[in-house]
Structure 1
Amino acid sequence: MRTTNDTLLPCSPVQILTEKQFCEKYPLASRRIFLNEGLVHARFCKAEQLSNGVAGTFAIPDKKKPVNGKFTFGYYLTSKLLIFIDDSGNVQDFIKEMKDLPLTDASSPCLFLFDFLEFLLKDDMIYLLDYEEKLTDLEEQLLNKNLSDFNRTILSVRKELSALSAYYEQLSDLGETFQKLAAEKEQQRERLLFGLFSDKADRLHSTVQMLKEYSIQLKEMHQTQIDLRQNEIMKVLTIVTTVFMPLTLVTGWYGMNFYNMPELSYRYGYRIICIVCLVILFIELWIFIIKKWFK
């Protein structure tokens, strides 16, 4: 477990505390953030306005397994300090990666949080393009009719997209919250930046919604193919039933074996009935061909 109370960047009042350390130092804020449930139960991104700042949680889907894997941590923002509450060490790893990126203003806790939010979304559009390519591959395989276990695959994709959709929607709402708070404090720069972030998260959310619609269309296409195959099978069964129905009538008719049926005692009766059945069969097939029922 990696924890620190030290500033992580020069001239940047950013700290990382464990949940236990934060609860001991800021008991009122911790109850507002965690609602007495603890950091492990954080399920979504939120921002709560407090008397002296803003606090909330992050629940970031793991890009390798968005449905079940999440990075959860909390934060507490005041005018002079930004505290991350994390027991896993993920936040420290994120901030180390941010050192290679240009920062808006490392001396401002609020703007550092903006940079942190931007960092979370920096490669997400490329990540979503991978989903689009995956769905396109599924469509090609579907058209070539060589896709096995399609329902399980498309269901997994839709679950992942639903998790990402909720995540981006929460980030968009979070950005709007910070934008409103900045407007109340007449912080024009912060208001503009958080507005841009909210718009970016909203665009990602719209992209995910588009991908979800795409997945629904693929599922409908797959169902249409199944219906067409079933219709072809029913068509064959209908033709077979129609072809042999007159023959069934003939066999049933002479299967009554009445004594006064002259055909039963006639020398060539069996051969004549066979010829009649073949003629009926060829006439039916000829009608089917003319009506193009075999196509």
Structure 2
Amino acid sequence: MYYRIAEKLAEEPRRAQNGWQGLAAVLRPEELATAGLPRGVAEQAAEKLAECRSCRLTVEPDCIQGELHIPAKGKHKPRNLLFAWWEDSLLFVDRGETAAECLETVRRMRPHHADGADDLLMDFFLALVAEDLGEIQSLEDRISELEQAVLESHTEGFIARMSRLRRELNQRNRFYAQLDDLVTTLQENAADLLDECSQSRLLYVLRRLDRLQNETQLLREYASQVSSEYQAQVDIAQNRIMKLLTIVTTIFMPLSLIVGWYGMNFAYMPELGWRYGYPVVIAVSVLVVGGCVVYFRRKRYW
């Protein structure tokens, strides 16, 4: 898919183009060999795409190349894509539809002075994270549901669900930090290639990424708070069980004393020869247990 870079990004058939001046393209790795790219731009692109595990920027004398590893978002699995910027042209290498969707988002953006590859690249970064605040809100809703479940003592599967949420938050936070570092590197090493509009858009991208990082960090703290609440509920439940066991042990301790007392088998124990000795011991045991139960109930130990 090819686009003519102008104030309004326009889709254009490749066969109508001679060369790559002022052109943006979204290609798959297998299309690079026949795309007529400048020498060195597409070299090792497929290999880099397969090995991409982070966001990073490579600044060369005649070309700026970047690798993007986008974590799973919603129904999307983790995705990788590459971009290359040379002169007034941009190339995106993508096995999926992420780059094409971002460029379509750019086409729908409010018109502004954007007529170069530098402006398009900044708009691409904005489109890449355009929906992330809404997705972060969805993550917050999921954490809130877990918190409500903990408060209602419905904690089945809590650890597995919270682990997934924490993993997603960590991946997003890492992505925003790496993308922020990539854009900062571009600002420091390619300032001479950015016009006034693209520099303004770059600063906006950095502010947006900083805000997303802050929101993600707040959610990580929120998740930790909910985990602490869950642990508190577990501790309370364990304390209740230990309290119940302690009360039961205390109630039956006098019976153990009675059993031990009459288990000594001394020769001169008058109760052993008494006709009513056995019923009396039973009655005493019942009275002791009943008295302990009444006492603990009055003291509200359970």
TM-score (norm 1): 0.85
User: Which residue, 114, 120, 123 being the options, matches 2:131?
Assistant: 123
Change (3 A) 1:26 1:259: farther
Could you tell me how far apart the structure 2 residues matched to 1:90 and 1:176 are? 22
Q: Which amino acid aligns with 1:38?
A: K
Could you tell me how far apart the structure 2 residues matched to 1:16 and 1:185 are? 22
The answer to whether the 8 A contact 1:172-1:202 is kept is yes
Shift of 1:280: 3.2
Shift of 1:22: 4.5
Match of 1:55 in 2: 65
The answer to whether the 8 A contact 2:166-2:220 is kept is yes
Q: Show CA shifts across 1:183-234 (max 9, x none).
A: 4567444333212211211110111111111111111211111111111111
User: Which residue, 28, 51, 69 being the options, matches 1:41?
Assistant: 51
Match of 1:164 in 2: 172
The answer to whether the 8 A contact 1:17-1:84 is kept is yes
User: Over aligned residues, Cα RMSD in angstroms?
Assistant: 2.7
User: Which residue, 151, 161, 166 being the options, matches 1:153?
Assistant: 161
Q: Following superposition of structure 1 onto structure 2, how do residues 1-295 of structure 1 map, counting pairs within 5 Å?
A: 4=1, 7=4, 9-10=9-10, 12-19=22-29, 22=32, 25=37, 28-30=40-42, 37-65=47-75, 69-183=77-191, 187-289=195-297, 291-294=299-302
The answer to whether the 8 A contact 2:119-2:197 is kept is no
Could you tell me how far apart the structure 2 residues matched to 1:96 and 1:289 are? 71
Shift of 1:43: 1.6
TM-score (norm 2): 0.83
Q: Secondary structure at the match of 1:102?
A: coil
Structure 2 unaligned regions, length at least 5: 11-20
Shift of 1:239: 0.8
Q: Show CA shifts across 1:74-109 (max 9, x none).
A: 111123211112343542343234322235444200
Could you tell me how far apart the structure 1 residues matched to 2:157 and 2:2 are? 51
Change (3 A) 1:38 1:54: closer
Q: Which amino acid aligns with 2:58?
A: E
Q: Secondary structure at the match of 2:71?
A: strand
Change (3 A) 1:279 1:149: same
Q: Secondary structure at the match of 1:38?
A: helix
Q: Which amino acid aligns with 2:74?
A: K
Shift of 1:278: 3.5
Shift of 1:275: 3.4
Could you tell me how far apart the structure 1 residues matched to 2:94 and 2:236 are? 54
Could you tell me how far apart the structure 2 residues matched to 1:272 and 1:139 are? 55
Shift of 1:123: 1.7
Please, which moves more after superposition, 49-58 or 277-286? 277-286
Could you tell me how far apart the structure 1 residues matched to 2:275 and 2:173 are? 82
The answer to whether the 8 A contact 1:55-1:74 is kept is yes
Q: Which amino acid aligns with 1:201?
A: L
The answer to whether the 8 A contact 1:104-1:115 is kept is no
The answer to whether the 8 A contact 2:58-2:65 is kept is yes
Give the number of aligned pairs. Answer: 287
Q: Which amino acid aligns with 2:277?
A: G
Structure 1 unaligned regions, length at least 5: none
Shift of 1:40: 1.8
Shift of 1:65: 4.8
Percent of residue pairs identical: 29
Q: Which amino acid aligns with 2:289?
A: L
